[in-house]
Amino acid sequence: MEQDKILIREYSPDMDELSHDNIIDAIHSNKNNITYSHKINGRWENQYLSIQFLPQIKKIFHFACKVGKEMIDRSLIIPHKEMGLPMDEFWFNIAMPGESTGWHDHKDRSLLSGVYYLKVPDNAGNINFREKNGDQFREWQIRSQTGKMILFHSNMEHSVSKNKSSENRISIAFNLYALPIDIDAFSDSYSSNKFYL
Ligand SMILES: [Fe+2]
């Protein structure tokens, strides 16, 4: 559908497999520095790890900001604490076998949101989007794939299907903001009331 092209884009940034392993290693070896925002259905939904522990992810952010600008014609940043801001607007999603993520959207003050897949084993689940069409939702799925980036408007509702593989599914998610940033827009935690049934 024409509308999907406007709201969602898929990309393949130039990151080699080595970089994926490197980032995943950094997540695992810095377990003690990970903070969690909220629990949904018995699991920690978002895992936060400061950029100082994995500076290599800046490459992913640069790519997202560049293509995000082409998408909506606004200069964008992914706010994080190294910028002197109170909040890291990126986090890791680690879905163990059997886990899924319910319907939600992201903060309404960011313009775009994105995900980059670090490790998606076969049958580890895809990302689903839905849009209200009268009383009903129109729902569709985009394939999650290692090395793929998906950018979408932050107010779009999305979910992740159940991980039916025997390994973890690992991705990095982020929000892109336009300057100037309204500092008051940042709370000190992720807004878990963004989750819907
Ligand atoms: Fe999300």
Q: From the CA of 74, how far away is ligand 1's center (Å)?
A: 21
Tens digits of per-residue pLDDT, 133-145? 889 999 999 999 9
Q: From the CA of 174, how far away is ligand 1's center (Å)?
A: 8
CA 69 vs. chain centroid, Å, equals 17
Domains of the chain: 2-180 (2.60.120.620)
Q: From the CA of 163, how far away is ligand 1's center (Å)?
A: 16
Q: From the CA of 159, how far away is ligand 1's center (Å)?
A: 7
Q: What is the pLDDT of residue 194?
A: 60
Q: From the CA of 17, how far away is ligand 1's center (Å)?
A: 24
pLDDT < 50 regions, the chain = 1-5, 189, 192
Q: From the CA of 142, how far away is ligand 1's center (Å)?
A: 14
Instruction: State whether residue 134 is helix, strand or coil.
Output: coil
Q: From the CA of 64, how far away is ligand 1's center (Å)?
A: 16
Query: For residues 116 and 65, what is the distance between their CA atoms, to the nearest angstrom?
Result: 13
Q: What is the pLDDT of residue 196?
A: 62
Q: From the CA of 104, how far away is ligand 1's center (Å)?
A: 6
Query: For residues 94 and 80, what is the distance between their CA atoms, to the nearest angstrom?
Result: 20
Q: What is the pLDDT of residue 113?
A: 96
Q: Considering only CA atoms, which of 139, 142, 113 is closest in space to residue 127?
A: 142
Q: What is the pLDDT of residue 42?
A: 62
Q: What is the pLDDT of residue 172?
A: 95
Q: Considering only CA atoms, which of 62, 50, 55 is closest in space to residue 11?
A: 62
Query: For residues 51 and 84, what is the distance between their CA atoms, to the nearest angstrom?
Result: 12
Q: From the CA of 55, how far away is ligand 1's center (Å)?
A: 22
Query: For residues 109 and 112, what is the distance between their CA atoms, to the nearest angstrom?
Result: 9
Cβ–Cβ < 8 Å for 110, 176? yes
Question: Residues 147-169, buried b or exposed e (16+ Cβ, 10 A)?
Answer: bbbbbbbbeebbbbbebebeebb
Query: For residues 48 and 188, what is the distance between their CA atoms, to the nearest angstrom?
Result: 12
